[in-house]
Amino acid sequence: MELTDNGRYSKSKFKKSYSQLAKQLLDHTLKDLVVAEDLLIFPMDLSQRSDLDKSAKIVESINNKVQFHNIVGFIGNDKENMIIRSRFSENNSDYFFRYLLQRVLNINIVNLETGMSSEEFFYQLLVYIFPKYLNSAMQKGIYKEYQKHEYNNSNVKGTLDTARHIRNNVPFRGNIAYTTREYTFDNSITQLIRHTIEFIRSSEFNKQNILQNSRVTQKNVAMIIEATPSYRYSDREKVLLFNKRRVLRHAYYTEYQLLKKLCLMILTGQKRGIGSGHEKIKGILFDISWLWEEYVNLILPSGFTHTENRNNNGGVKIYRRNYLISKTSKKHRNRSIYPDFYNEITIIDTKYKKLEASINRADLYQIISYMHILNSERAGVFYPTKNKSSLDKIGDLKGLGGTVFKYGMYIPQNTTSFEDFTNKMRHSEQEVLDKLLVEFSGED
């Protein structure tokens, strides 16, 4: 059974094709699945997307149908594997999704493409995104934790270990057996990261310079190596077993919990495959609407501000001045809006939706409000389509003035190879510049 993002299928057929996975996935929220299963969602923080929040679902029941959303990727267990492709996939060759990965995440898809099953492809993706998870976690500094250390000397600075003292120091020779709890960088988490680094360095992946793709990655890899002097290759199974049983619960270390999950998937998947090995489901899933937005950011003409709602960057204040929340506390606040892209005259909101027929009411009202607040001349949506690229003027607004438009970017069909798809995508990108440079930039 072939599955795509935003696809709707017969519930009975879906349950028949994926009897086990259907029970584990259907109508469960992403938040529950990430906590209960070995799933990775990219981008790493679910709160990064307003349209892919923690209450969102991979697949949900709608009467006698099941509905998929803006998710693509791989999910599997020891008996079933599920591939969710983009709706632009043809003949199981999802060149569109791979192209987005190549452009947005700077992954060399050409090296991943030939002679590879879908399961192998997604397993290798785990390795390719490792530096991003490592660098994100290391922004919090090297992970450190308290560990118990045993000493037997005359420099007592901890808790007396009576049994060990009697065993080792009778008759008395001047030493005292004691234990301490000390902060250390050389711990189970950093050891797991070190084993993953060494695995990548000693594998075929090293030929792609995955760990040397940026100075930040090189620096962080060097810091982990320096922080784990007790590393031994022979300890790998022990380190894996310990980390499988342990959960990092502190919110401050969320990035390290995600990195730990990724490391376990890489190191255990090398033998059994990404989706096999135990009763839990494993997989890596991508918010393709996020990939689409980041891709559009790469191809739009210069001069646009790209807001980041997840980081509260680039927002536009709604009110001219802050308003009073509470008279007693005298606190003030001003709300912000976050159109995806805007300049002095144009607002563009990216949508990974089927908008060939029309813009739905909610999206229409959203861009109109953006236009009013920013006093822009035009506002529209930018979406992918299987039809020919087109710039459609929806209409001119009464009262406020300004033009509403939509732009559908053609995603190539009937391509013979990834190289052929890439060449045709480049042509579609050039059409964006040719048709919209004046419209979007305001140049004559």
Tell me which residue of 404, 343, 408 sits closest to 382, measured CA to CA.
408
Q: 256: which 2 tokens? A: 């390290």
Instruction: Compute CA 434 distance to the chain's CA centroid, rounded to the nearest angstrom.
Output: 32
Q: 429: pLDDT confidence band, cut at 50, 70 and 90? A: very high
Q: 36: which 2 tokens? A: 């209960």
Mean pLDDT of the chain: 84
Instruction: Please give the pLDDT value at position 50.
Output: 42
Cα 261 to Cα 199: distance, rounded to the nearest angstrom: 16
User: Is the confidence at residue 433, as pLDDT, over 50?
Assistant: yes
Please give the single-letter amino acid code of residue 194: R
Percent of the chain scored above 90 by pLDDT?
45
Distant-in-sequence, close-in-space partners of 369: CB < 8 Å, separation ≥ 6: 337
* Range in 172-181, 322-331, 333-342 the model is least confident about: 322-331
User: Is the confidence at residue 46, as pLDDT, over 50?
Assistant: no
Q: 76: pLDDT confidence band, cut at 50, 70 and 90? A: confident
Instruction: Please give the pLDDT value at position 49.
Output: 44
Strands (E), 312-398: 316-317, 323-326, 331-333, 336-337, 341-342, 346-350, 378-385, 390-396
430 vs 205, higher pLDDT: 430
Mean pLDDT of 301-324: 74
Beta strand pairing call for 305-306 and 331-333: unpaired
User: Is the confidence at residue 444, as pLDDT, over 50?
Assistant: no
55 vs 247, higher pLDDT: 247
Adjacent-strand bridge partners of 177: 152
Contact 4, 71 (CB under 8 A): no
User: Is the confidence at residue 272, as pLDDT, over 50?
Assistant: no
Instruction: Please give the pLDDT value at position 251.
Output: 72
Q: 130: pLDDT confidence band, cut at 50, 70 and 90? A: very high
User: Is the confidence at residue 285, as pLDDT, over 60?
Assistant: yes
* Range in 10-14, 194-198, 399-403, 409-413 the model is least confident about: 399-403
Instruction: Please give the pLDDT value at position 268.
Output: 87
3-state DSSP call for residue 135? Answer: helix
Cα 47 to Cα 170: distance, rounded to the nearest angstrom: 60
Q: 122: pLDDT confidence band, cut at 50, 70 and 90? A: confident
Q: 393: which 2 tokens? A: 């003027």
Taking the model in full, what pTM does it have?
A: 0.82
167 vs 355, higher pLDDT: 355
The CB-side HSE value for 387 (13 A sphere, CA atoms) comes to 10
Q: 117: pLDDT confidence band, cut at 50, 70 and 90? A: confident
Q: 171: pLDDT confidence band, cut at 50, 70 and 90? A: confident
Which runs of consecutive H residues, i.e. helices, occur in 346-417? Answer: 361-374
Tell me which residue of 332, 428, 420, 314 sits closest to 93, measured CA to CA.
420
309 vs 259, higher pLDDT: 259
Tell me which residue of 235, 137, 249, 118 sits closest to 188, measured CA to CA.
235
Q: 178: which 2 tokens? A: 């004691």
Query: pLDDT tens across 222-234, in order?
Result: 999 999 999 999 9
Tell me which residue of 1, 43, 44 sits closest to 19, measured CA to CA.
1
Strands (E), 63-158: 65-68, 71-76, 81-85, 145-153
Tell me which residue of 267, 279, 230, 292 sits closest to 101, measured CA to CA.
292
Q: 357: which 2 tokens? A: 């027929």
Going from the C-alpha of 298 to that of each of 102, 226, 304, the distances in angstroms are 12, 37, 11
- Specify burial of residue 337 (Cβ count, 10 A radius: 0-12, 13-18, 19+): middle
Distant-in-sequence, close-in-space partners of 400: CB < 8 Å, separation ≥ 6: 368, 371, 372
Instruction: Please give the pLDDT value at position 10.
Output: 96
Instruction: Please give the pLDDT value at position 60.
Output: 92
Q: 269: pLDDT confidence band, cut at 50, 70 and 90? A: confident
Mean pLDDT of 1-13: 94
251 vs 230, higher pLDDT: 230
* Range in 22-26, 152-156, 351-355, 440-444 the model is least confident about: 440-444
Instruction: Please give the pLDDT value at position 24.
Output: 86
Cα 259 to Cα 366: distance, rounded to the nearest angstrom: 36
User: Is the confidence at residue 271, as pLDDT, over 60?
Assistant: no
Please give the single-letter amino acid code of residue 182: E
User: Is the confidence at residue 325, as pLDDT, over 70?
Assistant: no
